[in-house]
Amino acid sequence: MQAHVNTLQNSYQNLFSSHDTLLNSHDDLRAQADTLLASHASLRAQNESLFASNENLRNQVGRAEERIRVLERQYGDVLIEMVNFQKGMAQQDGLMQGLIQYFLGEGGEYHFSILTLSFFVSAAVP
């Protein structure tokens, strides 16, 4: 009978020791779970911040692309104005050369036909 009591006491002590070990493991696992939850919350906040930054950058790129399109159109307009200015200058140069030739080469005779027509044509073309 004493052998059975000793066996039962040993079994009880083993169970009690196992129970303490399980409680300690449970507490360790709960602490790890809490740490993981805190890390998850931190990562979620970082993820949301990155998504907001990404959306902000996309908006900035869209605005930059629109600005570039506007600048390209304005650049094209400036080129057209430069070409028109160059054409006007060429017409004025031709007129001035005609006037110089008229006054130097013709001896003061009045020639209405070519010189006057080129003047009116150059004045009419923008």
Residue 126 has pLDDT above 60, yes or no: no
- The total of structural domains in the chain comes to 1
CA 59 – CA 104 distance, rounded (Å): 67
| Closest by CA position to 114, among listed 101, 126, 124, 125 | 101
Q: Which domain holds residue 27?
A: 2-124
CA 64 – CA 1 distance, rounded (Å): 93
Quickly list H helices, the chain: 2-105, 113-124
pLDDT value of residue 70: 97
**Residue pLDDT, tens place only, 25-41:** 898 899 999 999 999 99
CA 86 – CA 88 distance, rounded (Å): 5
Average pLDDT value for residue range 65-89: 97
CA 112 – CA 99 distance, rounded (Å): 11
pLDDT averaged over the chain? Answer: 85
CA 61 – CA 51 distance, rounded (Å): 15
Q: Model-level pTM?
A: 0.49
